[in-house]
Amino acid sequence: MRIILYTGKGGVGKTTISAATAVRCAELGHNTIVMSTDPAHSLADSLDCKVGGRPKKIAENLSAEEIDVNEELKRNWGRIQKYVTKFLKSRGFEELIAEEFAVFPGMEELFSLLKLKDYYEKQAYDVAIIDCAPTASTVRMLSMPDVIRWYMDRFFDIERRIVKTVRPIAERITKVPFPTDDVYDSVEDLFHKVEGMKEILTNPANASIRLVFYPEKMVIKESQRAYSYLNLFGFTVDAVVANRIYPEEIDDAYFDRWRAVQSKYLAEARTIFDPLPMFVGKLFDREMVGLKLLHSLAANIFGDTDPATVFYKEPPIKTKRSDGRHTMSIHLPGTHKKDLNVWVAGEELIIEVGNYRRNILLPRSLAKTDIVEAKFEGDTLNITFGK
Ligand SMILES: Nc1ncnc2c1ncn2[C@@H]1O[C@H](COP(=O)(O)OP(=O)(O)OP(=O)(O)O)[C@@H](O)[C@H]1O
Ligand SMILES: [Mg+2]
């Protein structure tokens, strides 16, 4: 199953382009689903038909689904949330605050993606297109598997389940509630699901992210940052889409300056996103709503190209070995040295880029080594390990 996630700054056309891509894929004969993980769903408005929390067939080869994020949160995190709330209450938190703290921002959307894993395992569709929330939420959602791993490792210490006989005594002494077996089961189950999902989404052979933007300064800058963060977390962006380009037929002088702005930033975008293919969609003279107009938009953006194609397959993080030393390279375009921090703690390599931090569990061969050098070359961070 081919998986394509669309993200970008608020309002750039993510939903419209996700829907248009899905319409085109279905026309080409791929059994397609378009689903939205943005809690502020607008897929139904874009497709101009009713869509709900279950896949609904809306045309030949085309289904749509607006995932009920709260339902997914309850299903996957409910039991754990109850325990964490109880734990926090025992540490003096008020009930409502404890409940709030027991859910991290981004979790709802992450759990929505678990549905995707389900479809992937059943190979239920040929193509799945995901309309994601704006960039910051999407990056947070995609960084969640690492956060969850970290949290579960420390909070639940899965290896050292507290045996049934010790638990009641320990609870009496420490006055802290210990997780019961069903909580541990939920944690383990969720841990494997999230890891499995991350594996699917970081496999560039069939899963990719696409960034949608307008060629304007603020939008480009945000897209560039998102691109770096996605690379940091190991997700492959396979193409970008520049949307709402003023077409030639607008000959009103009022738009001359706008056109100059757009061509300047289109050129800049080509440099920033090189070597990714850049598709271009013109600004139509109306709202692009409904299957017919979505078809026209897809034709304008993709022409005869099948939008399900994997346009770029290079993983953003690579490791190589030479002279007995390992080097890890991460493509981080637009990142300044001052926004970057790299260090090793125990068995983890920790990389901070801007506000994001990634903890990478080092392979055993590297776990006992040190960073010999961390150097920015071009837009690539090269980290060399050795003794
Ligand atoms: N190329 C285009 N030409 C004309 N209208 C467009 C084009 N692309 C998108 N639109 C219109 O722009 C509006 C915003 O698009 P859309 O809802 O897809 O953006 P979004 O990025 O999903 O927004 P949000 O961040 O709120 O989810 C819609 O009314 C859509 O019909
Ligand atoms: Mg949207």
Residues 109 and 35: their CA atoms lie apart, in Å, by 12
What are the CA-CA distances from residue 55 to residues 123, 151, 290, 358 (Å)? 14, 32, 18, 34
Mean pLDDT for the stretch of residues 94-112: 81
Q: Higher-confidence residue: 80 or 237? A: 237
Ligand in closest contact with the CA of 11: 1
The pLDDT-based confidence of 214 (bands split at 50, 70, 90) is very high
The fold of the 317-386 domain, in CATH, is Immunoglobulin-like (2.60.40)
**pLDDT tens across 14-57, in order?**
999 999 999 999 999 999 999 998 878 899 999 999 998 999 99
Does residue 156 register a pLDDT over 80? no
CA of 142 to the centre of ligand 2 (A): 17
Residues 130 and 33: their CA atoms lie apart, in Å, by 8
Question: Residues 1-28, buried b or exposed e (16+ Cβ, 10 A)?
Answer: bbbbbbbbbeebbbbbbbbbbbbbbbbb
What count of other Cβ atoms lies within 10 Å of the Cβ of residue 114?
17
At residue 160, the pLDDT reads 54
Rounded to the nearest 10 degrees, what angle do helices 291-302 and 14-27 cross at? 90
At residue 155, the pLDDT reads 67
CA of 23 to the centre of ligand 2 (A): 16
The pLDDT-based confidence of 186 (bands split at 50, 70, 90) is confident
Ligand 1 atom 29: residue of nearest CA? 287
**pLDDT tens across 133-147, in order?**
888 888 888 888 887
Residues 227 and 276: their CA atoms lie apart, in Å, by 11
Residues 278 and 130: their CA atoms lie apart, in Å, by 19
Residue ranges around ligand 1 (CB below 6 Å): 8, 10-16, 38, 42, 134, 243-244, 281, 283-284, 287-289, 297
Residues 6+ positions from 57 with CB-CB distance below 8 Å = 63
At residue 13, the pLDDT reads 97
Q: Which CATH number fits domain 1-313: 3.40.1360.10, 3.50.50.60, 3.40.50.300, 3.10.350.10?
A: 3.40.50.300
CA of 342 to the centre of ligand 2 (A): 35
Mean pLDDT, rounded, of the chain: 88
pTM of the predicted structure, to 2 decimals: 0.91
CA of 360 to the centre of ligand 2 (A): 31
Output the furthest CA–CA distance in the chain (Å, rounded).
81
At residue 157, the pLDDT reads 62
What are the CA-CA distances from residue 279 to residues 27, 33, 99, 295, 379 (Å)? 19, 22, 44, 16, 23
Give the residue extent of every domain in the chain: 1-313, 317-386
Mean pLDDT for the stretch of residues 351-358: 89
**pLDDT tens across 270-322, in order?**
999 999 999 999 999 999 999 999 999 999 999 999 999 999 999 999 988 88
